[in-house]
Amino acid sequence: MKRLWLVFSQAVTVLLAAYFVVATLKPDWLGRRPSLPAAGNVSLIEAPAPAPGTVPPGSLRAAAQRAAAAVVSISTSKTTRHPGSNDPWFRFFFGDQGSVPQTGLGSGVIISAEGFILTNNHVIEGATEIEVALNDSRKAQARVIGTDPETDLAILKIQLDRLPVITLGNSDALQVGDQVLAIGNPFGVGQTVTSGIVSALGRSQLGINTFENFIQTDAAINPGNSGGALVDVNGHLMGINTAIYSRSGGSMGIGFAIPVSTAKLVLDGIVRNGVVTRGWIGVEPAELSPELMETFGVKARKGVLITGVLQNGPAAQAGMRPGDVVLQVAGQETGNVSELLTAVASLKPGVPATFSVQRREESVALTVTPGQRPKPRQAAPR
């Protein structure tokens, strides 16, 4: 009896095991389908479709759409001779290499319906051909109207109809923390929009341009963005993206843009007169330092020290001397060399201006009639 029960239990166990294997691997053998969740039983949560024209909270879509159409890509080409082309031994071994073609990429901003485009001077410098590509895929050859290397700005012109034009903003109203967008053609990948904030204002003494008053931003700016637009949340032009601080060649969150206030002065000078006219007084300025203060016997604690005065220059004719410390130019305080240079450059040549100067313990007011700033050259008096 015990043996029969053992045989029975083993048979039941084997049958149950076989049943479970078949039910799992081949349920159709038993007339059953695999147990799958029915589509109607899957619970999904979907957001309601936004109404047409609805803008998500915090989106900068409107600013990008207003400004992007007026931002263009600039392609340049030029030919340069091989560095060794003038060496007879180089030509003997390698032959005449002839001209080497070079290409460049950058960005620009259409600022008027007449086809004027604002960009950086270094984008088009030395170029023999300049092609402008609009965001709507139209292309045109551009000609250079004028350049201003001291601010690294250039004005181009194209001949096309129905041009989109950007709205110029008030860069003087910008504050640190304001949101901005950088629009350009980085690395030639196509128009790209990045966002950030104004990190600092009035950046100078960076060694980039002669006249520096940069807007600093953490909006990503990369090679190819040069000459592109920095716009506010309304899509208004606030600056021309110009340079970055980088150890890798790419964006590290420190970019610099030329304020549109500076660009408008350059544009006005170039379009009206073909050149930017700036004031000049013929002095050699320096920052106040303990060594220089001791050398010249200076008692002032602020201002810009004059270490040299050009003979028969405007400053010399007005009575300015080495050792004088300039405190103000036409009522504008000058705390460093950059501020003095900018204040003097903004003066109209031939129109007298008052300079507040400290000469040892004495305060002196000098009336200086500035001349026209000469073209940039090595070691030129400012």
Query: Would you name the residues annotated as active-site residues?
Result: 122, 152, 226
Q: What does DSSP say about strands 255-259 and 214-217: parallel, antiparallel, or unpaired? A: antiparallel
DSSP code for 167 = P
d(CA 316, CA 337): 18
Of the candidates 361, 277, 351, 366, the one whose C-alpha atom is nearest the C-alpha of residue 321 is 366
| 379 CB burial (10 A radius; 0-12, 13-18, 19+) | exposed
Radius of gyration of the chain (CA): 34
Long-range contacts of 316-322 (CB under 8 A, 24+ apart): 316/282, 317/369, 318/281, 318/355, 318/366, 318/367, 318/368, 318/369, 319/366, 320/281, 320/283, 320/355, 320/357, 320/366, 320/368, 321/359, 322/296
Please report where in the chains the tokens 């028969």 appear, as a residue: 312
d(CA 194, CA 64): 9
Pair of tokens at residue 254:
């420190």
Q: The sheet that has 99-110: what strands, in order across it?
A: 139-141, 129-133, 71-81, 99-110, 116-120, 153-157, 143-148
> Please, are residues 203 and 214 in contact by the beta-carbon 8 Å criterion?
yes
DSSP sequence for 14-28: HHHHHHHHHHHH-GG
d(CA 352, CA 354): 7
Please report where in the chains the tokens 């504050």 appear, as a residue: 175
DSSP sequence for 227-252: T-EEE-TT--EEEEEEEE--SSSS--
Reported as type and span, the H/E element at residue 73 is strand 71-81
